[in-house]
Structure 1
Amino acid sequence: MTGASVVAGIGLRPGTSEADILACLDGALAAANISAETVRRFATLASRLREPGIVAAAQARNAELVAIPDEALKGFEASCATRSTRIAALYGVGSVAEAAALAAAGPGAELIQPRIATARVTCALARSAERSAP
């Protein structure tokens, strides 16, 4: 892979549609001025991995879908730019989307777009630190 890759962290309520997920993702991409083609991985809670909406959204964008265990999110609390009191009470982290994006992007990842929230879904973007040799 050339350069750093971009990961979309996605938090969603059960039953969220593919269209709602992609609309939120596209909002985050537009806010960060990033092309949709640069996102090759979607990260979400392990408990949401089989949600039909996120499975369809990942397939539509030809992206790998990865599960982040709830307990793994907690290690990213300090790196989260935003905080939802409800989510913090449930998962021990201010933003599932931000923590999932950072976790899936790997060590040294950078949050490049804090979460964008709609009624049913949140999306944040992180860039991996990995770079290919020149």
Structure 2
Amino acid sequence: MRVAGIGCRAGAPVAALRDALAQAEAQGGAADMLATIAARAEEVTALGRALSLAGVEGIGTPTTSPRVMALYGTGSVAEAAALSVCGPGAQITVPRVISACGRATAAIAEKREPE
């Protein structure tokens, strides 16, 4: 399973989310689903395939934004959302990328299914 976590500023345009997602998928392949936090469900729902989470506080992430850490208790909403949905044993395969306008981020986590 490959999950793209999406983070964004309130009211970020769909184009910014698409840009961030496209960048992440170009590096890590197409995602099977999207994930975000409840506070950003409206923006991600605009993409037509959103999955909201109760929270991502305390989930360790490879990259860290001090602003996001102060607001949400994790270094990257995109990375933490992707890891949370994938579950235990998941790994970030594409660290956080930022849309050209700077209003959205995306990251991809993957959990390999046992063979």
| TM-score, structure 2 normalization | 0.88
2:101 matches 1:127: no
Partner of 1:110: 91
Secondary structure of the equivalent of 1:130? coil
Asked whether the 8 Å contact 1:102–1:109 carries over to 2, the reply is yes
Partner of 1:11: 7
Query: Over residues 65-117 of structure 1, what are the superposed CA-to-partner deviations in whole Å (9 max), with x where a residue is unaligned?
Result: 221223xx12422xx11000000111111111100000011121111010001
| TM-score, structure 1 normalization | 0.77
Asked whether the 8 Å contact 1:7–1:127 carries over to 2, the reply is yes
CA distance in 1, matches of 2:62, 2:83: 11
In structure 1, what residue type is equivalent to 2:3? V
Of 25, 39, 45, the match for 1:55: 45
Asked whether the 8 Å contact 1:110–1:129 carries over to 2, the reply is no
Runs of 5+ in structure 1 lacking a partner? none
Partner of 1:83: 64
Secondary structure of the equivalent of 1:14? coil
In structure 1, what residue type is equivalent to 2:64? R
Query: Over residues 39-76 of structure 1, what are the superposed CA-to-partner deviations in whole Å (9 max), with x where a residue is unaligned?
Result: 1211111111123xx2132x2xxx4x221223xx1242
Identity of aligned residues (%): 41
Runs of 5+ in structure 2 lacking a partner? none
